Structure 1
Amino acid sequence: MGFPGTWMTESESVVYRVVPKCACSTIGQIMYYSDHGRFFDGDIHDSTTGLHKWSQDVSQPLIHANVRAHRSFAFTCVRNPYTRILSSFFDKICGIQRNGRRYRGNMVPLLIQKYGIEVGGDDGKQDFDQIASFRRFLLFARDSIRFRKPMEPDIHWSAMSGHVSTFIVNGGRYDHVVFTERFNEGMQTVLDRIETPHAVNLAEIPRFNESEGHGPTRAHPVEDYFDDLSRHLMWEIYRKDFQLFRYDFDNPGNKMPKGEVDLDEIHAKLGD
């Protein structure tokens, strides 16, 4: 299976396991900058040179050898499950993607038909009941993850623990987990532990939010989207994410982690 979703700098200074919707655009650009002294011109997900990615055939043997020997500092980044799935909804379901089309072709029409979801019209900018539509989307997310119906689960709302685990199961080991909510602090820990061809000053690094502007703006506080049933579904889907990454399941309005992650626990529980 190898190491899907894994990126590595060309200098092999650092290895990163991507978790979608968890600051991956900014992290990728920091890695690119640390090697080349400039940012990639465009969405870092579109780069095919300048950064090793498992999705690039030429990069696979290099990433495989590095990770299995643990030659470089390895990390990943996680985010509060409540805000992560809300971001996925507004970006991927309600938003128009950078190619000018809906995400995954016929998925949104299917959700409108089968789950009664509204998405703000053809351009995603009209008013609609965000709370009702999000809760219906959450039901679809549960169905796709638990039952793989009406389609396979999507990487943007499948559990973070699933993404993180593939790296461990196939022989990798993490040295650090960054919280999106404490991004500068977490990334500084990474940068302090590695040597890069070009120095990175986090205070001067812009945020590369490639999903920004794709969809409507969230109109309500996070907690308003999650009633008792929604929270039940969140626990069913993301129980490991809340527990392993120390996020507050009981209070959707608290986006901050409640404590530091235990790397030994993560490797033990996700390494089966």
Structure 2
Amino acid sequence: MGFPGTWMTESESMVYRVVPKCACSTIGQIMYYSDHGAFFDGDIHDATSGLHKWGIDSSQAAITANVAAHRSYAFTCVRNPYTRVLSSFFDKICGIQRNGRRYRGNLVPLLIQKYGIEVGGEDGKQEFDQITSFRRFLLFVRDTIRFRKPMDPDIHWSAMSGHVSTFIVNGGHYDRIIWTEDFNAGMQSVLDAVETPHRVDLDAIPRFNESEGHGPKRAHPVEDYFDDLSMHLMYEVFKKDFRLFRYDFENPGNKMPKGEIDLDEVHAKLGD
């Protein structure tokens, strides 16, 4: 199976397991800058050179050799499950993607037909009942993750623990897992642990939020989107994410983690 979703600097200063919707655009650009002294011109997900990626065939041997021998500092980044799934809804379901089309073609019409959601009209900018539509989307998320119907789960809303685990199961070992909510401190700890060809000043790095502006703005506080049933569904499908990465299931309004991540526990529980 190898190391899907894994990126590595060409200098092999660091290895990163991508978790979608968790600052991956910014992290990728930081990695690219640390090697080249300049940012990639465009969405880093589109880069086919300047950064090793598992999705590039010519990079796979280098990534495999490095990770198997644990030659470089390896890390990933996680995010509060409540805000992550909300972000997926507004970006991927309500938003128009950068190719000018809806995400995954017939996905949104399917959701409109089968789950009765609204997405803000053709351009995603019309008024609609965000809370009702999001809760219906959450039913769809549960169905894809628990029952793989009406489709397999998408990488943007499948559990973070699933993404994180493939790296461990196939022989990788994390040196650090950082939180999106405390990004600068976490990313600085990674940079402090490695040597890069170009120094990175995190305070001067822009946030490369490639999904921003795709869809409507969130009109309500996070906690308003989650009633008792929604919270039950969240726990049903993201229980490991809440527990392993120390997020507060009881209070959707608290985006910050409640304690330190135990790397030994993560490796033990996700390495089966």
Give the TM-score of the pair, scaled to structure 1. 1.00
Aligned to 1:86: 86
Match runs of 1:65-214 below 5 Å: 65-214=65-214
Per the TM alignment, residue 116 of structure 1 is displaced from its structure 2 partner at its CA by: 0.1
The CA deviation at 1:64 is: 0.2
Partners of 1:73 and 1:95 in 2: how far apart? Answer: 35
Separation (CA, whole Å) in 1 of partners of 2:215 and 2:116: 18
Cα deviations across residues 123-175 of structure 1 (Å, max 9, x unaligned)?
A: 00000000000000000000001101001100000000000000000000000
Tell me the distance in 1 between the aligned counterparts of 2:159 and 2:151: 16
Q: Residues 18-37 of structure 1: matches in 2 within 5 Å?
A: 18-37=18-37
Please list, as runs of the form range in 1=range in 2, the aligned pairs for 1:13-52 lying within 5 A after superposition: 13-52=13-52
Distance (whole Å) between structure 1 residues aligned to residue 38 and residue 59 of structure 2: 21
**Corresponding residue of 1:224:** 224
User: In 2, distance between residues paired with 1:195 and 1:203?
Assistant: 18
TM superposition shift of 1:50: 0.1
User: How far off its partner does 1:197 sit?
Assistant: 0.2
* Whole-angstrom distance in 2 between the partners of 1:153 and 1:234: 14
Other structure's SS at 2:177 match:
strand
How far is the alpha carbon of 1:229 from its aligned partner?
0.4
CA deviations on 1:21-57 (whole Å, 9 max, x unpaired) are 0000000000000000000000000000000000000
Distance (whole Å) between structure 2 residues aligned to residue 248 and residue 68 of structure 1: 34
1:2 equivalent in alignment to 2:28:
no
Kindly tell me the number of residue pairs found equivalent between the two proteins: 272
Secondary structure in 1 matching 2:86: helix
State the shift of 1:91 in Å: 0.0
Per-residue CA deviation, residues 174-217 of structure 1 (Å, 9 max, x unaligned), is 00001000000000000000000000000000000000000000
Whole-angstrom CA distance in 2 between matches of 1:100 and 1:43: 15
The CA distance in 2 between the partners of 1:183 and 1:89, in whole Å, is 22
Identity of aligned residues (%): 84
Alignment correspondent of 1:245: 245
Which letter does structure 2 place at the counterpart of 1:42? G
Aligned-partner residue type, residue 26 of structure 2: T
Using the TM superposition, give the Cα deviation of residue 230 of structure 1 relative to its aligned residue in structure 2, in angstroms.
0.2
Query: Aligned partners of 1:34, 1:77: CA distance in 2, in Å?
Result: 18
Structure 1: segments with no counterpart, 5+ residues: none
SS in structure 2 at match of 1:178: strand
- Structure-2 separation of matches of 1:225 and 1:27: 28
Name the aligned partner's letter for residue 66 of structure 2. Answer: N
Structure 1 segments of 4 or more deviating over 3 A? none
Equivalent residue, structure 2, for 1:270: 270
Gaps of at least 5 residues in structure 2 are none
The Cα shift of 1:4 comes to: 0.1
Q: Deviation per CA, 1:197-246, whole angstroms, max 9, x where unpaired?
A: 00000000000000000000000000000000000000001000000000
Find the aligned partners of 1:29 and 1:178 in 2 and give their Cα distance. Answer: 16
Distance, in Å, in 2 between the alignment partners of 1:24 and 1:266 is 20
